[in-house]
Every structure is written in C-alpha cells, then in structure tokens.
Amino acid sequence: MPKQMKNEETTEFKSYPVFSLGSALTPEQKEFFHKNGFIHFKNFVSKEVVTKMIQESERIQDEWIKEDRKLVNGTPIKYGKDVDGKTIVQRFAFLNQFGKIFQEFLGEPRLKALFELNGAADSRLGENEKDGLVFNHYVNTTDSNYSQLAWHTDVLRDIFYGNKVMPMLNLGLHLDTSTPANGGLRLLPGTHNKGVFTLLFRKVYYLNYKADKDEVGLSVEPGDLTVHDGRLWHRVAQSPFVGEKSRRRVMYIPIICGKFEPRTKTSKPLLYQRFMAVTNK
C-alpha cells in the first residue's frame, strides 16, 4: 500500500509505493528509483535487530562521553541533550568500527543488490570513507543540538572541493517510527537528474529549512530501509513535538565509487564539516 504524506504548509497528500528488497532488484523498483531518485523498502531488518542496534549505540555513546571523544577519523562528533537533560551523541560517525552488530549489517548480502542503482562497476559501501556508518539521533528539546537538517544534496563534498561529481547513493536504516507529521526526511523527487544548475542553486545549502510544495515526506517504521541518490535535494524537518515524541534515529551508509579515499585516525576535519558544525541545530 502507498504511504502518504501531508505537506507542512498545504492539505495536499502525496503517496509513493513501498517495496520489499530481495536478492535482486525488480524492473519496477529500478524504474521507480531512476525516475524519482529514492526508494523505500519495508522490514529490511527485524524489530529485534533494531533494538539491539539501539542498545549497542547507547553503550558506545557512554564510552565516547566518558573519554570526551571529539572526532572519529577526523569527523566531528555532535553532542546534545536528551529529554531528561542527559548528554547524548546526536551524530555518530564510523559507528561500524565500534560495534559488531553494525559491521554485520554492512555485510548483509541484499545490500549489494543496490549497487546497480549507482551505475558504476566499482561501487562499494563507504565503510572507511566519507563518514562511514553515520547514526543520527534527532530529538527536539530546549538543549538539543540536532533537531533538523536544512536542504542539501550529499554530493556537496565533491562540489565543494572542485572535484567531478561522482555517482553515490545514501542508504538509510530507520530505527524509529516516523511520519511526516513528526518531521523527518523530506525529498524533492526527480531533482537528481536535472543538471548542474539545479544541483548547485535549487536551494541555499544548509541554511534553508523551509517546506517546499513539491517535497515528499516519508513514513517509516523500525527496520525500514530507504535509498536516495546523492544528487537528490532533501532535508530533515524538525518535529513539531517536544520531548520523547520527537525522537527519530536513523543510520546512513553511502554507496560510492571512484578513487579509494579512506579516513584514518590522523585525518583532519574537512572545511565543509566545520561549517556544518555551526548550522542545522
């Protein structure tokens, strides 16, 4: 059944088909993705696995807070406050390097079926590149440091450093139930194949939070997997709720290609990462 979204500023509803992912993509799935730039798969992992992932992330979080860790392979860690005022990690990086269950997730054979969508023979999971497996923890409280994310595309890094834009995908594993009424991921379907001008100037990167009449909001449940093209314009809307009801946790891993560029303990934060650190509160 199609999931529905209600735009924040209109009464219009948009719907999209939801799929299941097997060992290979179907023609219908490939057609939908290439047209729209995103796709949604139900129940990619079980609710039990989701629970274990959350528990493991909390264990790692406690370790990082105790040791006052600032960076992982040069990527800044984003800290904030939970609904009870307790310090939490609101953006982990390279989480796959700290917990076995996360590395096992990246070894799931069905993920390789998605490489075809990237359109490059050397496509791979960015386990040790970019920011690795990222865990975003959005919660809307007075002292939260991560409740929303402004409009952007994921290929900004290539653009920012004057490099050729390489094919990439972002895979998102959702750990909480989230509907458009609770904020969450907003996408502009089809903006991934509109050319360089749209890629650069459709929105103001990382500063524009406003709703768009053409955006689609996703309705997800724990264990769902979403995939979007790195050139697709998207944002994360702030929840209108405050406290526990606003909590949304999602993990992302990129599918990338081209030159192998691993990040290590000696890597330094990139300029755009420093810029992001002072935006998107």
pLDDT tens digits, one per residue of 96-145: 999 999 999 999 999 999 999 999 999 999 999 999 999 999 999 988 88
Q: Is residue 7 domain-resident?
A: no
Position 142 scores a pLDDT of 87
Relative to beta strand 225-229, strand 134-138 is: unpaired
The helix (H) or strand (E) run that includes residue 2 is none
Q: What 3-state class would DSSP assign to 250?
A: strand
Position 279 scores a pLDDT of 52
29 pLDDT exceeds 70?
Answer: yes
Confidence of residue 26 (pLDDT cuts 50, 70, 90): very high
The CA–CA distances, whole Å, from 191 to 104, 168, 234, 246 equal 33, 14, 9, 28
Q: Is residue 5 domain-resident?
A: no
Position 272 scores a pLDDT of 59
Position 2 scores a pLDDT of 41
39 pLDDT exceeds 50?
Answer: yes
- pTM assigned to the model: 0.92
7 pLDDT exceeds 60?
Answer: no
Q: Which residue has the tokens 């990129």?
A: 254
Residue type, 227: V
Position 125 scores a pLDDT of 98
| Structure-derived torsion over alpha carbons of residues 90, 92, 96, 102, reported in degrees to the nearest 10 | 10
Q: Is residue 59 domain-resident?
A: yes
CATH classification at residue 63? 2.60.120.620
Position 78 scores a pLDDT of 95
Local structure of residue 173 (DSSP, 8 states): E
Q: Is residue 272 domain-resident?
A: yes
Q: Is residue 20 domain-resident?
A: no
Q: Is residue 181 domain-resident?
A: yes
220 pLDDT exceeds 70?
Answer: yes
3 pLDDT exceeds 60?
Answer: no
Confidence of residue 163 (pLDDT cuts 50, 70, 90): confident
How large is the average pLDDT for residues 206-226?
Answer: 96
Residue 171 and residue 178: Cα distance in Å, rounded? 17
Instruction: Out of 28-42, 133-147, 155-169, give the one with best mean pLDDT.
Output: 28-42
Position 69 scores a pLDDT of 97
Number of domains comprising the chain: 1
Domain span at residue 180 reads 25-277
How large is the average pLDDT for residues 80-94?
Answer: 96
CA count, 13 A, side-chain hemisphere, 17? 11
The CA–CA distances, whole Å, from 161 to 72, 78, 154, 165, 280 equal 21, 23, 13, 10, 21
Residue type, 77: I
Residue 202 and residue 207: Cα distance in Å, rounded? 12
More confident of the two residues 196 and 40:
40
How large is the average pLDDT for residues 54-81?
Answer: 97
25-39, 149-163, 180-194, 218-232: which has the minimum mean pLDDT?
149-163
Q: Is residue 1 domain-resident?
A: no
CA count, 13 A, side-chain hemisphere, 52? 11
Residue 137 and residue 7: Cα distance in Å, rounded? 23
Position 10 scores a pLDDT of 41
Pick the closest to residue 129 from 60, 73, 77 (CA basis).
73
Confidence of residue 11 (pLDDT cuts 50, 70, 90): very low
| Structure-derived torsion over alpha carbons of residues 27, 31, 33, 35, reported in degrees to the nearest 10 | 180
Local structure of residue 199 (DSSP, 8 states): H
Cβ-proximal residues to 244 (8 Å cutoff; 6+ apart), any chain: 83
- The 3-state DSSP composition of the chain as helix, strand, coil percent (nearest 5) reads 30, 25, 45
Residue 45 and residue 190: Cα distance in Å, rounded? 28
Q: How many CB atoms lie within 10 A of CB 135?
A: 25
Q: Is residue 2 domain-resident?
A: no
